[in-house]
Amino acid sequence: MITQTEIDALRHKEIKPQQLLINGKWQDAENGAEIDVVSPIDGQKITTIAAASAADVDVAVSSARNSFERGDWSRMAPQGRMRIMHRIADLIAQNAKELAVLGVRDNGTEICMAIKAEPGSAAGTFRFYAEAIDKVYGEIAPTADNVLALVHREPVGVVGAIVPWNFPLMIGAWKIAPALAAGNSVVLKPSEAASLSLLRLADICLEAGLPPGVLNVITGNGAVAGEAMGLHNDIDIIAFTGSGGTGRRLMEYAARSNMKRLYLELGGKSPNVIFADAEDLDQAAKVSAAGIFRNSGEVCVAGSRILVERAIYDEFIERLKNQAEKLKVGDPLDLANNIGAISTKQQLEGDLAFVERAVAEGARLVCGGQQLHAASGGYYMQPTIFADVRPEMDLFQHEVFGPVVAVTPFENEEEAVALANGTDFGLAAAVWTSKLSRAHRMVRNIKSGVVHVNTYGGAGNNVPLAGMKQSGNGADKSLHALEKYENLKTAWISL
Question: What would the 3-class secondary structure string for the chain be?
Answer: CCCHHHHHHHHCCCCCCECEEECCEEECCCCCCEEEEECCCCCCEEEEEECCCHHHHHHHHHHHHHHHHHCCCCCCCHHHHHHHHHHHHHHHHHCHHHHHHHHHHHHCCCHHHHHHHHHHHHHHHHHHHHHHCCCCCCEEECCCCCEEEEEEEEECCEEEEECCCCCHHHHHHHHHHHHHHCCCEEEEECECCECHHHHHHHHHHHHHCCCCCCEEECCCCHHHHHHHHHHCCCCCEEEEECCHHHHHHHHHHHHHCCCCEEEEECCCCCEEEECCCCCCHHHHHHHHHHHHHHHHHCCCCCCCEEEEEHHHHHHHHHHHHHHHHHCCECCCCCCCCCECCCCCHHHHHHHHHHHHHHHHCCCEEEECCCEECHHHCCCEECCEEEECCCCCCHHHHCCCCCCEEEEEEECCHHHHHHHHCCCCEECEEEEECCCHHHHHHHHHHCCCCEEEECCCCCCCCCCCEECEECCECCEECCHHHHHHHEEEEEEEEEC
CA atoms within 13 A of residue 176's CA, in its CB half-sphere: 31
265 included as an active-site residue: yes
- Tell whether the model's pLDDT for residue 186 goes beyond 90: yes
Sign (positive or negative) of CA dihedral 453, 474, 419, 290:
positive
Domains and CATH numbers, the chain: 4-266+472-494 (3.40.605.10), 271-459 (3.40.309.10)
Q: Minimal CA–CA distance to 408: which of 425, 384, 394, 391?
A: 391
Q: What is the mean pLDDT of residues 397-405?
A: 98
* Alpha-carbon distances of 97 from 5, 84, 168, 176, 336, rounded to whole Å: 12, 22, 15, 21, 17
- Tell whether the model's pLDDT for residue 12 goes beyond 90: yes
Return the pLDDT at 54: 98
> Residue type at 306?
I
- Catalogue the long-range contacts made by 453-458 (C-beta closer than 8 Å, 24 or more residues apart): 454/278, 454/279, 454/284, 455/287, 455/430, 456/272, 456/287, 456/288, 456/290, 456/291, 456/303, 456/430, 457/287, 457/290, 457/291, 457/294, 457/299, 457/301
Rg from Cα positions in the chain? 23
> Residue type at 63?
S
CA dist 234 and 246 (Å) reads 20
- Tell whether the model's pLDDT for residue 458 goes beyond 90: no
- Tell whether the model's pLDDT for residue 399 goes beyond 90: yes
- Tell whether the model's pLDDT for residue 145 goes beyond 90: no
Q: What is the mean pLDDT of residues 41-64?
A: 98
**How big is the CA angle at 109 (ends 108 and 112), to the nearest 5 degrees?**
135
Return the pLDDT at 412: 98
Catalytic residue among 34, 110, 192, 265: 265
Return the pLDDT at 353: 98
Sign (positive or negative) of CA dihedral 16, 26, 130, 459:
positive
- Tell whether the model's pLDDT for residue 132 goes beyond 90: yes
* Alpha-carbon distances of 22 from 29, 189, 219, 223, 232, rounded to whole Å: 10, 12, 11, 20, 16
CA dist 180 and 165 (Å) reads 22
Q: What percent of the chain has pLDDT over 70?
A: 100
Sign (positive or negative) of CA dihedral 68, 72, 74, 75:
positive
- Tell whether the model's pLDDT for residue 457 goes beyond 90: no
Q: Minimal CA–CA distance to 418: which of 443, 393, 391?
A: 391
Beta 486-494 vs 147-155: how paired, if at all?
antiparallel
CA atoms within 13 A of residue 208's CA, in its CB half-sphere: 26
Single pTM value for the model: 0.97
- Tell whether the model's pLDDT for residue 352 goes beyond 90: yes
CA dist 49 and 106 (Å) reads 12
Could you tell me if 314 and 285 are in contact, meaning their C-beta atoms sit under 8 angstroms apart? no
Return the pLDDT at 448: 97
Return the pLDDT at 129: 98
86-106 residue pLDDT tens: 999 999 999 999 999 999 999
CA dist 48 and 198 (Å) reads 14
- Tell whether the model's pLDDT for residue 459 goes beyond 90: no
